[in-house]
């Protein structure tokens, strides 16, 4: 499968715990995006990388959230001290850096904070 992959697909955690998600983009894509999606809503932009540089962060990305893409390939999204309101689907997308390029999404990681 040469599409965007995410791991894990599901995560259940207790409030206050830290969680980390991984995204592997399509290999030739140099842009990588993180979105959050709650039930019945469209995905909301969180942050994006061009290669290893994090170029934009949404106001939705609180201090408890951190994303990295150390080698410009895979990315991790960490949530510290999780809260019940963090329960959502976390989606990763990638694209090739051209004007108005299409973003291709992974299957997402569904997080449930108890």
Partner 1 sequence: GESVGLHLPTLSVQEGDNSIINCAYSNSASDYFIWYKQESGKGPQFIIDIRSNMDKRQGQRVTVLLNKTVKHLSLQIAATQPGDSAVYFCAETRKTSYDKVIFGPGTSLSVIP
Residue ranges binding partner 1 (CB under 8 A): 4, 31, 33, 40-45, 48, 55-56, 91, 93, 99-108, 110
What tokens were used for 13? 């955690």
DSSP 34-83: EEEE-TTS--EEEEEEETTEEEEE-TTS-TTEEEE-TTSS-EEEEESS--
Which is closer to partner 1, CB of 56 or CB of 83? 56
In angstroms, give the least distance from the CB of 13 to partner 1. Answer: 19
Q: Containing H/E element for 7?
A: strand 5-7
Nearer to partner 1 by C-beta: 41 or 62? 41
Q: Which residue, 63 or 99, is less far from partner 1 as judged by CB? A: 99
């Amino acid at each position: 499968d040469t599409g965007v992959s995410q791991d894990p697909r599901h995560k259940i955690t207790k409030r206050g715990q830290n969680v980390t998600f991984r995204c592997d983009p399509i290999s030739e894509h140099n842009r990588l995006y993180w979105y959050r999606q709650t039930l019945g809503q469209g995905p909301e932009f969180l942050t994006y990388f061009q290669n290893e540089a994090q170029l934009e962060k949404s106001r939705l990305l609180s201090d408890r959230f951190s994303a990295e893409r150390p080698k410009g390939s895979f990315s991790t999204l960490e949530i510290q001290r999780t809260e019940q309101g963090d329960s959502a689907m976390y989606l990763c997308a990638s694209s090739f850096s051209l004007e108005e390029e299409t973003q291709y999404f992974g299957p997402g990681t569904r997080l449930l904070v108890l």
